[in-house]
Structure 1
Amino acid sequence: MSALDSRPGEPAHYSQVWCFRTPRARLALWGGWVALVALFVWCWQVMNANTLWVFVADAPDQAVDIGSRMFPPDPTYLPELLLPLWDTLNIATLGTLGGIILAIPVAFLAAGNTTPSTLLVRPVALFIIVSSRSINSLIWALLLVALIGPGLLAGIVAIALRSIGFVGKLLYEAIEETDGRQVEAVTATGAGRAQVIHYGIVPQVLPAFWGIAMFRWDINIRESTILGLVGAGGIGMKLQSSIDTLAWSQVATILIVILATVVVSEALSARVRRALI
């Protein structure tokens, strides 16, 4: 508060001075910063407990040494990568397709405006989505290799299980954001529940669905390249084999092929999404 000029004998007038934050808000902000710094210091101490800084200091020299062994890449190794690369593309594509097929009903059961029960069915569907998203595809592959053995099937199922949560979450959010007036118009014609979903909701979410599907396929291309590290097939198995034998020129060739594949899939996915949405 600040006093304004006033005549003698008249009461002083005051005007309120605007502040960006109240004193309590400023105190809370500073308290948050102090807590964040304390958390950082604690995490740093935990990280340093088992860190050997001798190896960290030597890391740049080791990186230069491995990089020099990678150059030049071995172009004669390319023919051996064609079949594993094809397997990787099949893992990503079939896994994405399987994940989408499983995610569609889960998404409709999780959406608040299409679920048959908000007390029982919806929580179960949301739990499936959260469970799928919580476990990385590499962990899924590791578990499946132990269950059904190494090979492409483990990689395909791992990609599918991982895709359920991603596709299901984005799709059920798109379903919940649909225009209710179109649904009411279809309902007013006497349509049943399945007809309302088919004619009132599906046309609204179809563009978003294709965009989500292509986006997930692009992500799965990247993830499927490393599933071979745990025996789930694809080009990752060649990468692991070359690393184990210290064939660094072959490793460089594999990394270039993986990079080129990811770049092409990214460009293709972006182009298809622009055409569909």
Structure 2
Amino acid sequence: MPVIDSSDGPVWRLRNRRETLTRWFMWFLGIAIFLWCWSRISEATTWFFVWDAPRIAGDILGRATPPRWSYIDNLWEPIWDTLNIATLGTIGALILAVPTAFLAARNTTPSALFIRPIALLIIVSTRSINSLIWALLLIAIIGPGVFAGIIAIAIRSIGFCAKLLYEAIEEIDQSQVEAVTATGASRWQVMVYGIVPQIMPAFAGIAVFRWDINIRESTVLGLVGAGGIGLQLQASLNTLAWPQVSLILLVILAAVVISEWVSAKVRGAII
């Protein structure tokens, strides 16, 4: 904090002249970038449709109410497929994420120079691509259906689970590991008795948390042909069956709320 001398004594100021000018310049630069981006967005936007959006939304809402409750019998199997996609995808991701996490953690990787970068690359690459894109690629390779959705969810979840898990591995108490090592235990025994018990609560929490996320993601995979209730939603949208759309959205909302409640109860029991 600069001090400026004056006839009445030192005057305390938060910033000197250079810092103040730099701060104002950064504000000016940020506003200029925002205005430029806004102008580009405005040029690419048809504002007539934007101003007409409230009327269109009201018309669709009127067509969608009340929901077509008789259509609920057609949704039990799709919502079951959605739950299977999320659950099996999460299990598959955890099976692959655990060894990836141990290879990525600094204190457990066999080689920080060669193996750890490969494990980190797997984590980054699987996290950087959305599950919808994975589903599109897999549908082109293995065809549409629930299996493509399961694989897409699994691949997408590997990086998420492995990243959180390897961070938990790196934060373990090394004194417990040293105590097990001092008994003459092998590398695998040290891992089983010194590391795994410390990360089990984190592993359980990560698994439940990711399953909760996958419930949400699996509801929309059907929009690209990967099975689940999203397939029914896409079919209803294509035929403009708005009462069916509103019912499907309510079922999706109920499934998400129930999964959130279950995951919260499980995390509370674990923690």
TM-score of the pair, normalised by structure 1: 0.93
Q: Which moved more, 1:265-274 or 1:190-199?
A: 190-199
Identity of aligned residues (%): 65
Larger Rg: 1
Q: 1:205 to 1:231 in 2, by over 3 A?
A: same
**Deviation of residue 51 (structure 1)?**
1.1
Aligned with 2:115 (options 110, 121, 130): 121
- Residue in 2 aligned with 1:62? 56
Give distance in 2, aligned partners of 1:182 and 1:28.
Answer: 51
**Deviation of residue 194 (structure 1)?**
1.5
Residues 70-109 of structure 1 show CA distances to partners (whole Å, capped at 9, x for unaligned) of 0000100001000000000000000000001010111111
- Residue in 2 aligned with 1:182? 176
TM-score of the pair, normalised by structure 2: 0.95
Q: 1:23 to 1:183 in 2, by over 3 A?
A: farther
Residues 114-149 of structure 1 show CA distances to partners (whole Å, capped at 9, x for unaligned) of 111111111111111111110000111111111100
Whether 1:221 aligns to 2:222 is: no
- Residue in 2 aligned with 1:149? 143
Give distance in 2, aligned partners of 1:114 and 1:156.
Answer: 30
The amino acid that maps onto 1:132 is T
Give distance in 2, aligned partners of 1:99 and 1:24.
Answer: 53
Whether 1:237 aligns to 2:225 is: no
Whether 1:83 aligns to 2:74 is: no
Q: How many residues align?
A: 268
Q: Look up the SS of the partner of 1:183 in the other structure.
A: helix
Give distance in 1, aligned partners of 2:21 and 2:107.
Answer: 43
Which 5+ residue runs of structure 1 have no aligned equivalent?
6-13
Whether 1:132 aligns to 2:136 is: no
Whether 1:247 aligns to 2:244 is: no
Q: Which moved more, 1:53-62 or 1:229-238?
A: 53-62
Which 5+ residue runs of structure 2 have no aligned equivalent?
none
Give distance in 2, aligned partners of 1:46 and 1:36.
Answer: 16
Whether 1:159 aligns to 2:176 is: no
- Residue in 2 aligned with 1:8? none
- Residue in 2 aligned with 1:101? 95
Q: Look up the SS of the partner of 1:233 in the other structure.
A: coil
The amino acid that maps onto 2:151 is V
**Deviation of residue 47 (structure 1)?**
1.6
- Residue in 2 aligned with 1:273? 267
- Residue in 1 aligned with 2:258? 264
Give distance in 1, aligned partners of 2:21 and 2:192.
Answer: 54
